[in-house]
Amino acid sequence: MSERLYDVAIIGGSTGGTAAYLAACALGINAILVSETERLGGQFTVQGVSALDEHPYIETFGGTAHYTRLRETIRAIYQREYGAPALMPHSVLGENVPLNPGNGWVSRLCFLPEVGVAALDQLIAESPHTLPTLRGWRAVRAESADGHLRAVFVANAQGERRAIRARYYLDATDTGDLIALAGLPYVTGAESRAETGEAGAPEVAKPHEVQGFTYSFVVEFCPDEDHTIPKPEGYESFRDQQPYTLSPLGRDGAPVIYRMFAPHGKNLPFWTYRRIHDGALLGGRDLALINWISNDYHGGDILNADAHTRQRYLDEAKRLSLGFLHWLQTECPRDEGGKGYPELKLRPDVLGTSDGLSELPYIRESRRIVPLKRVVAEDIAAESNAGARARHFEDSVGIGWYAMDLHPCVGNPKASLYAPTRPFQIPLGALIPEQPTNLLAACKNIGTTHLTNGAYRVHPTEWAVGEAALHAAAFCLRNNLTPHALHADAWQVRRLQHQLVRYGIPIAWAVDVLPKHPLFHSTQLLLASAVIAPESPRWHSLMIASDLPLGESVDLERVRALAERLNARGATLPLEALNADMTWSALCSLFDSAWQVLA
């Protein structure tokens, strides 16, 4: 059995794992990525969710530099290969918006999974360092002593096995597999109210109440053709119990009506919801990605099942999705009257599988570490946070924004939540297990709860988690620290934040000071130090307004305390220059050279 020692082993090719790998390629550290699939990207690619779940500011702010580069590369491929325009001449999301190849209304960027794969491959090829990957391999066993991982054993479909030994391991598997193999404590399903303190949590923990997962598929509309697939086993049961419908029940209990190709009131058509190829824009026929409540599988908990039962659930989930396609082809109400759209043609080639379903299911909820800091609903909920931002985390290592989105769950199919949040941060403590170890969570397995998980699992946030985990591991290696020691030392956390911001990773919300803005670095580190005064104009806005005086919006005592800490480490900040009449821009300029003591 071959083996080699690495500084960091990234176990899992999820969205977070891919982001961590690109960060490792940028840093040039001795790292390896182990991926269950040949194609990287997780929910971007092999899980079929190439209609991105993002926030309203993503075109200009709120993604890491690598994430932004990925979005730019996807669009550049379409412009190069399809002759697509830079701006959409006609869009379901407005006029002259940036290119959206699918012109779907769920997202500002809907595209073919193969283009996502090509974009990721291009970013890897352009990286300053080339690092090894093991593709088509998965973790099967872990060797540990006193909570410290010594080796992770991986295997491929041919039965070959290898031992991966590293100083640090990142669990970047979508279901938290390495956490379980390592014997670390973890949480699944719904925690109890006593455990999390969340008002919306149940009185008694329900570890099997895990959100449903989905096998996506892609269809093409072929007029005057019949592409009806055979009725899968269990079809009638799926149809009636799921149920199969284009009019799911809303939060008020009344159906929300969608039509296939025509709008219904304010509701846009089902067909354009996750359309990933707009034929009118790019040529050819439309292609639509089907990821809908009707093919969300919540018939069994794959996180706590044995291998045989897990496979049974996965097989049933596939039949559920194929059954939904059969219903769309045979029983779905047609816009003009009648039933069924036999013209819908399953396109296995788009997802690269023989059955036409995504290579892996889209996983909404993972095993989650028991962390140093658990993000609870009240930390991010709009109703619990009066300012423009969610609760401030001094140890922030990234940002995100999405609603708390809870889909039907195992044993509780009526579970549903879509609660607004404030733009939030990713605390370092949510990546670090409470039990001391050399493992960090690097995707949707971080220390969220059943309720907050849905806000942190989406594309740009999971990507930010992966990058942050890699940078944290690299920082610990370079400074001979453990994750626990790093988290306990506020100065070292500031140094890590300095590194993150230098690499284009925002750690605080300031939508008018973009990553390429000369004030970006200072703005981010000042905001990380919580210098915005509560209940002030800047506290109530995501904009910094850099040309306006500080006034009462900035807590000058906190600014002075920060300056004194930096001066104690060798900076030469003139404390007497600090005053409420100076602008935010002047404040940033004052601190610009002082951050070097954090290097």
Summarize pLDDT for 237-251 with one digit per residue, the tens: 999 999 999 999 887
Structure tokens at 464: 């930010």
* End-to-end CA gap in the chain: 40
Q: Rounded to an integer, what distance in angstroms lies between the CA atom of residue 43 and that of residue 404?
A: 18
Structure tokens at 149: 């991982």
Q: Rounded to an integer, what distance in angstroms lies between the CA atom of residue 381 and that of residue 390?
A: 7
> Any idea of the CA torsion for 140, 143, 144, 149, to the nearest 10 degrees?
-70
Q: What is the mean pLDDT of residues 462-483?
A: 98
Whole-number CA gyration radius for the chain = 24
Q: Rounded to an integer, what distance in angstroms lies between the CA atom of residue 508 and that of residue 530?
A: 10
Give residue 93's pLDDT: 82
* Angle between helices 15-27 and 459-479 in degrees, nearest 10: 40
Tens of pLDDT, residue by residue over 321-368, are 999 999 999 999 999 999 999 999 999 999 999 999 999 999 999 999
Sole residue written with tokens 């990713």: 426
Helix (H) or strand (E) holding 361: none
Give residue 65's pLDDT: 98
- Name the 3-class secondary structure at 560: helix
Q: Rounded to an integer, what distance in angstroms lies between the CA atom of residue 270 and that of residue 260?
A: 5
Tens of pLDDT, residue by residue over 12-50, are 999 999 999 999 999 999 999 999 999 999 999 999 999
Give residue 265's pLDDT: 94
Q: Rounded to an integer, what distance in angstroms lies between the CA atom of residue 294 and that of residue 324?
A: 7
Percent of the chain with pLDDT over 90: 96
Structure tokens at 207: 């570890």
Distant-in-sequence, close-in-space partners of 83: CB < 8 Å, separation ≥ 6:
none
For residue 487, give the nearest of 526, 453, 437 by alpha carbon: 437
Q: Burial code of 370-381, b = ≥16 C-beta within 10 A, e = fewer?
A: ebbbbbbbbbbb
Specify whether the CB–CB gap between 358 and 180 falls below 8 A.
no
Specify whether the CB–CB gap between 441 and 469 falls below 8 A.
yes
Give residue 249's pLDDT: 85
Phi and psi at 163, nearest 5°, equal -105, 125
Listed range (197-211, 212-226, 241-255, 451-465) with the worst mean pLDDT: 241-255
Tens of pLDDT, residue by residue over 503-520, are 999 999 999 999 999 999
Give residue 111's pLDDT: 98
CATH number for the 3-193+365-497 domain, one of 3.40.190.10, 3.50.50.60, 3.40.190.150, 3.40.50.300? 3.50.50.60
| pTM beyond cutoff 0.95 | yes
Give residue 1's pLDDT: 54
Give residue 419's pLDDT: 95
User: CA neighbours within 13 Å on the CB side: how many for 499?
Assistant: 23
For residue 592, give the nearest of 493, 496, 534, 525 by alpha carbon: 525
- Name the 3-class secondary structure at 484: helix
Q: What angle do CA 308, 314, 318 make, to 5 degrees?
A: 145
What is the DSSP annotation of 15-80?
Answer: HHHHHHHHHHHHHT-SEEEEESSSS--GGGTTT---B----TTTTTSSS-HHHHHHHHHHHHHHHH
Q: Rounded to an integer, what distance in angstroms lies between the CA atom of residue 459 and that of residue 131?
A: 23
Helix (H) or strand (E) holding 452: none
Tens of pLDDT, residue by residue over 289-330, are 999 999 999 999 999 999 999 999 999 999 999 999 999 999
For residue 276, give the nearest of 334, 218, 233, 332 by alpha carbon: 218
Give residue 94's pLDDT: 80
Please tell me what DSSP assigns to residue 107.
Answer: -
What are the E-state strand segments in 462-532?
Answer: none
Q: Rounded to an integer, what distance in angstroms lies between the CA atom of residue 502 and that of residue 515?
A: 10
Average pLDDT, the chain: 96
Q: Rounded to an integer, what distance in angstroms lies between the CA atom of residue 501 and that of residue 496?
A: 9
Structure tokens at 310: 């897990």
Q: What is the mean pLDDT of residues 554-570?
A: 97
Q: Rounded to an integer, what distance in angstroms lies between the CA atom of residue 184 and that of residue 118?
A: 36
What does DSSP say about strands 31-35 and 344-346: parallel, antiparallel, or unpaired? unpaired
Give residue 284's pLDDT: 96
Structure tokens at 564: 């004194």
Tens of pLDDT, residue by residue over 83-123, are 999 999 888 888 889 999 999 999 999 999 999 999 999 99
Number of Cβ within 10 Å of residue 474's Cβ equals 21
For residue 1, give the nearest of 169, 154, 167 by alpha carbon: 154
Give residue 454's pLDDT: 95
Distant-in-sequence, close-in-space partners of 40: CB < 8 Å, separation ≥ 6:
13, 17, 18, 21, 33, 117, 120, 133, 135
- 3-state percent breakdown (helix, strand, coil) of the chain, nearest 5: 35, 20, 50
Give the model's confidence band at 224: pLDDT under 50 very low, under 70 low, under 90 confident, else very high. very high
